[in-house]
Structure 1
Amino acid sequence: MRHLPARKAGRRVVGALAAGLLCAAGLATPAAMAAPPRAPAGPTLDDGLALTPPMGFNNWNSTHCRAEFNEAMVKGIADIFVSKGLKAAGYEYVNLDDCWALPERDADGKLVPDPVRFPSGIKAIADYVHAKGLKLGIYTSAGTKTCNRAGFPGALGHEYSDAQQFADWGVDYLKYDNCNNQGVDAKLRYTTMRDALRAASEKTGRPIVYSICEWGQNKPWEWAADVGHLWRTTGDISDSWGSMLSILKKNLPLAQYAGPGRWNDPDMLEVGNGGMTDTEYRTHFSMWSVMSAPLLIGTDLRKASDATFDILGNKEVIAVDQDPLGKQGTVLSSEGGRWVVVKEMRDGSRVVALFNETGSAQRIATTAEAVGLPKAPAYSLRDLWQHKGFETAGQISASVPAHGTVLFRVSADRRWVKNPPAAELAVQGSALLEAGKQTVLTTTLTDLGRAPATRASVALTGPEGWTVRATSGTSAPLLPSGRTLRTTWKVTAPADTPPGSYDLSLESAYRSLTGQRISMSLPVTTSVVVAPPTGTSALGDLQWLTAANGFGPAERNTSNGESAAGDGHPITIGGAVYASGLGVHAESTIDYYTGKTCETVTADVGVDDEKGTRGTVSFEIWADGTKVASTGILTNAMPAQPLSADVTAAQVVRLRVTDGADGIDSDHADWADAKLSC
């Protein structure tokens, strides 16, 4: 990249600015930091356990009840905790989920480990794990049977015997599920096991962390702080963007109930299981950490990629989750799917998550004052995924990729002067291109720091064969605080470019006053699109831009089968069978490019009959970011409802299904006979 030559006089100005800023930093006294407030008051278990959210592993999300869940796997995970640095990063619990026991108790009413899966027994596994400086967890249910279809023994009526058996084995953590509970009051069932664990601990000296897993059905956050150390707030997570997003939204409002020894649990991590992108997994890990959630790895680490270990082992993000103040992050704003979530830290700093729920890159912004920091000349800003430090005059902003999260730790201290100015790199304009037609994009590089940036430059490149030409300046010798280098580009994809996603690369560079060179890059995802045909088309036959789904992929002309593509059934609502449409599972969004050439979307919508009496959903149609039609909450007992919307002049139409505000379980939703008229 070519830079404009700096004049000697310019260098003298830069030197004077540097001296002035250093002087100001030495003389300025940031506002005194108030003592951090205590975690929310209220009864808690006074046993000193789980003062920060538990971290470890649980096999269920990767193995379920398959044969690969066995003694060798558990020992292998413990080995990997040590060899891959996960133990050093804070992970300590290696937890067994359902299917570890035989289906029947022995003649004395005792639980029996499956001799095929665990030939050495549970105590031997605990000894192995303990020898590595780790801890062992186990699973059972607050019912007569566990949740697996095979129906392994639950602990209802056997609480004291089972708790004593766990303690004798050396178990350090109990996950206590909610299946086959025979209608017994939840508080009674879970309190009985609390008392049983306490009695076993007093007898053996073995303290056991207690994880309440009743799926948030009885609002445990309101009563369980002196019963367990953590409680599930939602139904089970699955390895999909829609599932993770739905759970995130339900857990965020519960911040007031979390604190040392009492944690909201939005379920285990799916990072590395393959159903989401690495960008989405970084969001998953970032937001769980900002929410002070337990971090229980749910992937088989014996098969994990380097990218998975990089995410799970990010110590700077883990430090957010494990901060001793124990405050769960709170939502500052969420307009248009652009979320700002703020977590107060014990040292007075704030962690700021800029989270982009939408399917396209978004600029998300806030300020140091808005997140609760005192007034200061400037602020230190640490990017926790890039592992780089900057200074900002107060602006906290970034261009965040689709489904991505940028995580900053921001503090008001004098150390800011040692850092280069932060800068925001962004792209404006539509990322949708029709092959052979010229599209205009504008890139911006903005100095967010108190100090100016020097020798700033940008460059945009496209795939081979694409034409990318700058029509305005691409460099600036000096970029003062708050000023922007704005460059316009003309981009053309070759006329024979097939529809699909393509990445452009935006690169920038600048220098601090002390000469430090900072380089930045921003992937720019574009889509080559084709306008829909004239007339009326079945949406099940058209190519969509993007699709996100709660369980399994969205399906064309069948219902949603929750797992692999093509595993659905004929779309059926209220006994009526439809030959065409879309089968989805809440939370779900499907976007179509309409190119400002279409007028209406129509469909018969409802919960598919295949889920029996379960499922509550709501259908919405959006046109270029504006909701233009919706149904309200629909249940399986209701017949198909007609839904139509005027989408005239819209470039993108979105079909959205939400979960009816009661979780995403069994929410099979059909856009039956869905049509687009253009």
Structure 2
Amino acid sequence: MEHHSEPRYAPLEQDEAGSSRERLVTDHEFRKSNPGLPYMEAPGELEVGKKKWYKKRLTLIFTPFTVIMTVGFIVLAALLGTWVAQGKAANSVHLAEVGRLPFMGYNTWNEYHCNINESVILETARLIKSHGLLDHGYNYVSVDDCYSEKTRDLNGNIVASKERFPSGMKHLTDTIHSLGMKAGIYSDSGWFTCELYPGSYMNEERDIKLFQEEWGFDLLKYDNCAVPFDEIIKEGMVGKYTRMSNAIKKQSQLSGKPPILFSLCQWGRVQPWLWARQLGQSWRSTGDIYPEWISVAGIINENSFISWATDFYGRNDLDMLEIGHSKLTYDEQKSHFTAWAFMKSPLLIGTDMSEITDEALSILKNAEIIAINQDPVVGTAITPFRWGINPDWTFNRTHPAQYWSGKSENGTIIMLLNTLEEPADMTFRLVESPWIRAGRQYTVRDLWTHTDNGTAVRSFTAKDVPRHGVVALLLKDAGDEPVGTLPPCSTPEWCMDQNGTRIDQ
């Protein structure tokens, strides 16, 4: 039997524009119009379900009009794609510009509470600069609660107190900016602030535009008081703070400027370390601090279990510093500052800058401690490797974890915290820290005495650490430990010779 080997197509047709094309036909249609041909699997046949379809040759005839329209469409699509891509890239850049490192500066609440005015704040800013603190990174001056009138104006806007801020908030921020500093403002996620001034609930977009665009603030601290009834808000903690976060992002997109720095102040409720990174750059991890050791120790204890959550662009906020308040001893203030800095918390001064002592300034200006907080390479915080007095992972407000370590740009950082009521020696094996290598020796730099203290092999002991005092060390790899150092394993568990002999130590 003779087989026809050429593909089969339907006859040419013309459309209304004059373009010729061959249409697709089924096997049944093809045979009906060609009854004399035998059945065969011709090249080009496609079988779909029970029907066989034949390929068709498509012939397009372009008129000048269709050519112009096609080219125009391609150009328009390319321009639109470029515009969208640039917009997304610009927004990503803006978001990446904010809050990579912990912010540093001053907040009015601890020292002044509601007794604030523009003179106090501007004088504080000038003193921060004249004391040399701006040179050490303290560049935010933040206004806390009580700066506004008790009610909004007829247009629904928050109004700065005419008595306390007669020159207006724009004058305040302009002056702060002229000093080379940034300005922070305060609001609340509820109906009112904690002192019952207007909050931002249901006014998020209006307020963030006012704070950032009209008043010129660079940071927003956002509190957790005056929560609306459930039947009104229909949100949990995450949703309540998402409202302002979304408003901040929208304002950034509209203005083309980086978003305002967003500091969530919701006291560690509902585990913000799990979700707040998506909303802002810092989140309070505990309740409010007060200037007593029991408060400092309690905050360290709570954060010992969640310090892993801190990294670039998002961190646990341990609350404001109490450096400069007399209820804490010098050693307690050093411990307080070291723990906050090494856990990468924001560092906000909260004392009267006109009366600050040289002792307090020496703590706040410790450049080696600040360098850990502001490390440009490592954003993670220190974590405990041994609790010390208590079994590991023990919750104890008065005696938190004592032995901590972490990575840094220049080596391994160690914090030894004496939580006892008397001086004590503190000893640890180097390899208890996960960042130390076995079989190596390490140079030891004391970040409070600013001295190099020789080389540590296998272990280190800090002598007579003061009551509630701290030792802050930077360990740098100095090469192999001396040959023949015994015991053969610094960690005794399952120490074994290559011949299979287990080594008892």
- Tell me the TM-score normalized by structure 1: 0.53
Give the one of 378, 387, 392 matched to 1:334.
387
Q: Distance in 2 between matches of 1:191 and 1:147?
A: 19
Q: Does 1:121 align with 2:185?
A: no
Which amino acid is the alignment partner of residue 188 of structure 1? G
8 Å contact kept, 1:167–1:201: no
| Post-superposition offset of 1:242 | 0.7
Q: Does 1:300 align with 2:352?
A: yes
Q: Does 1:346 align with 2:409?
A: yes
Q: Distance in 2 between matches of 1:79 and 1:397?
A: 43
Q: Does 1:48 align with 2:97?
A: yes
Q: Does 1:378 align with 2:441?
A: yes
| Post-superposition offset of 1:53 | 0.9
Which amino acid is the alignment partner of residue 405 of structure 2? V
Which amino acid is the alignment partner of residue 194 of structure 1? S
8 Å contact kept, 2:388–2:403: no
Secondary structure of 1:198 counterpart: helix
Q: Does 1:153 align with 2:198?
A: yes
8 Å contact kept, 2:375–2:409: yes
Secondary structure of 1:74 counterpart: helix
Q: Distance in 1 between matches of 2:357 and 2:382?
A: 29
Task: Indicate the residue corresponding to 2:426 in structure 1.
Answer: 364
Q: Distance in 1 between matches of 2:418 and 2:306?
A: 20
Task: Indicate the residue corresponding to 2:109 in structure 1.
Answer: 60
What do residues 377-435 of structure 1 show as CA deviations (whole Å, max 9, x unaligned)? 53221111111112223232212110100111111136x9xxxxxxxxxxxxxxxxxxx
| Post-superposition offset of 1:177 | 0.2
Task: Indicate the residue corresponding to 2:322 in structure 1.
Answer: 270
Larger Rg: 2
Task: Select the structure that is richer in helix.
Answer: 2
Q: Distance in 2 between matches of 1:259 and 1:377?
A: 28
Q: Distance in 2 between matches of 1:259 and 1:362?
A: 32
8 Å contact kept, 1:212–1:228: yes
What do residues 257-301 of structure 1 show as CA deviations (whole Å, max 9, x unaligned)? 111001001111111122211111111001111111110111121
Task: Indicate the residue corresponding to 1:406 in structure 2.
Answer: 471
**Aligned residue runs from structure 1 range 82-481, under 5 A:** 82-148=129-195, 151-168=196-213, 169-183=215-229, 184=233, 185-204=236-255, 205=257, 207-324=259-376, 325-336=378-389, 337=399, 339-347=402-410, 349-371=411-433, 372-375=435-438, 378-394=441-457, 395-398=459-462, 399-413=464-478
Q: Distance in 2 between matches of 1:203 and 1:79?
A: 33
| Post-superposition offset of 1:376 | 5.8
Secondary structure of 1:293 counterpart: coil
| Post-superposition offset of 1:95 | 0.4
Secondary structure of 1:378 counterpart: strand
| Post-superposition offset of 1:48 | 2.9
Question: How many residue pairs get matched?
Answer: 370
Secondary structure of 2:96 counterpart: coil
Among all aligned residue pairs of Structure 1 and Structure 2, give the percentage whose two residues are the same amino acid: 35
- Taking only aligned residues, the RMSD between alpha carbons, in angstroms, comes to 2.1
Structure 1: gaps (5+ residues): 1-44, 417-448, 451-678
8 Å contact kept, 2:443–2:477: yes
Q: Does 1:80 align with 2:132?
A: no
Secondary structure of 2:263 counterpart: strand
Secondary structure of 2:98 counterpart: coil
Instruction: Tell me which moved more, 45-54 or 95-104.
Output: 45-54
8 Å contact kept, 2:321–2:350: yes
Q: Distance in 2 between matches of 1:46 and 1:254?
A: 25
Q: Distance in 2 between matches of 1:181 and 1:253?
A: 28
8 Å contact kept, 1:167–1:206: no
Which amino acid is the alignment partner of residue 106 of structure 2? F
8 Å contact kept, 1:105–1:111: yes
Q: Distance in 2 between matches of 1:206 and 1:373?
A: 39
What do residues 294-324 of structure 1 show as CA deviations (whole Å, max 9, x unaligned)? 1011112121111111111111111111112
Secondary structure of 2:306 counterpart: helix
Q: Distance in 2 between matches of 1:190 and 1:115?
A: 29
Q: Distance in 1 between matches of 2:212 and 2:366?
A: 33
Secondary structure of 1:259 counterpart: coil
**Aligned residue runs from structure 1 range 655-666, under 5 A:** none
Which amino acid is the alignment partner of residue 350 of structure 1? T
**Aligned residue runs from structure 1 range 464-543, under 5 A:** none
Q: Distance in 1 between matches of 2:122 and 2:426?
A: 44
Q: Distance in 2 between matches of 1:123 and 1:201?
A: 19
What do residues 650-675 of structure 1 show as CA deviations (whole Å, max 9, x unaligned)? xxxxxxxxxxxxxxxxxxxxxxxxxx
8 Å contact kept, 2:150–2:197: yes
| Post-superposition offset of 1:374 | 2.3
8 Å contact kept, 1:290–1:342: no
What do residues 222-254 of structure 1 show as CA deviations (whole Å, max 9, x unaligned)? 111111110011111111111111111111211
Instruction: Tell me which moved more, 361-370 or 263-272.
Output: 361-370
Q: Would the alpha carbon gap of residues 393 and 216 (structure 1) be closer, same or farther in structure 2, given more than 3 Å must change?
A: closer
Q: Distance in 2 between matches of 1:329 and 1:105?
A: 44
8 Å contact kept, 1:368–1:410: no
8 Å contact kept, 2:143–2:185: yes
Q: Distance in 1 between matches of 2:351 and 2:284?
A: 19
Q: Distance in 2 between matches of 1:126 and 1:201?
A: 19
| Post-superposition offset of 1:214 | 0.9
Task: Indicate the residue corresponding to 1:432 in structure 2.
Answer: none
Q: Would the alpha carbon gap of residues 244 and 401 (structure 1) be closer, same or farther in structure 2, given more than 3 Å must change?
A: same
Structure 2: gaps (5+ residues): 1-93, 390-398, 483-505
Which amino acid is the alignment partner of residue 276 of structure 2? A
Which amino acid is the alignment partner of residue 393 of structure 1? A
Q: Distance in 2 between matches of 1:316 and 1:360?
A: 27
8 Å contact kept, 2:273–2:285: yes
Which amino acid is the alignment partner of residue 175 of structure 1? K
Secondary structure of 1:56 counterpart: strand
8 Å contact kept, 1:350–1:410: yes
What do residues 132-176 of structure 1 show as CA deviations (whole Å, max 9, x unaligned)? 21100000110000001xx10000010000000011211100000
Q: Distance in 2 between matches of 1:176 and 1:51?
A: 19
Secondary structure of 2:280 counterpart: coil
Q: Would the alpha carbon gap of residues 288 and 109 (structure 1) be closer, same or farther in structure 2, given more than 3 Å must change?
A: same
Which amino acid is the alignment partner of residue 346 of structure 1? E
| Post-superposition offset of 1:366 | 1.4
